Amino acid sequence: MTRKLEPGKLVLATHNAGKLTEMRDLIGPFGFEVTSAGELGLAEPPEHGTTFEENAKTKAVAAMQATGLPALSDDSGICVDALDGQPGVYTADWAELPDGTRDFAMAMRNVEEKLAEKRASDPKDRTARFVSVLCLAFPDGHVEYFRGEVEGTLVWPPRGTLGFGYDPVFKPEGFDITFGEMTAEQKHGWKPGDATALSHRARAFKRFAHECLGVA
């Protein structure tokens, strides 16, 4: 049985501003006193995992050990079928520049160039999914995982300036616009009491809220 989390202080184990905004939006209604690893000046732990679960645990446990507080992390990425699931857990690495900063416009071009090499121009050959795994680390070392996925198709050129990362090239199944063209509310697609959730992170968070917070 999943361990319950009582409202109180919680560390969001991320240094990514876009991800932090989304996680804060999602957890906002539940009465937690939230801070982030970035705001606390915590070092980013090296991520050597080969799965989203391993990397999520690395981040959550590092933040928990540094603060003594429960910590919630997200490890997420885009998995492109024609590229055998790449970039997957290396989604952010594909955007990394020599100086350590990240250029997601470059990363999106890299994906498109690899699809072009495979002559993947038809939408049926450009299927992909966003995956998010949340890890909650309790102060005694116990961890819980919550996974969410959303299927879609990659478009080119990028569309929209909202969101972050690869959002401008990802058109979720059943929609005519990309994540980059959606407002935060459209992309999250879920609030307490709603039946559905759209984004991968919202779907993972819905599981977290249901199983850990007792929210319907």
Residue type, 20: L
Look at residues 32, 29, 8, 4 and name the one whose alpha carbon lies nearest to residue 144. Answer: 4
SS3 (DSSP) at 95 = helix
For the beta carbon of residue 176, count every other beta carbon within 10 angstroms. Answer: 7
From the list 170, 182, 183, 174, the residue with the least C-alpha distance to 77 is 170
Could you say which of 25, 74, 75, 167 is catalytic? Answer: 75
Q: What tokens does 70 get?
A: 């429960």
Q: Can you tell me the distance from the alpha carbon of 132 to that of 79, in angstroms, rounded to the nearest whole number?
A: 11
Q: CA–CA separation, 5 vs 23, rounded Å?
A: 16
Q: Is 75 a catalytic residue?
A: yes
Residues with catalytic annotation?
75
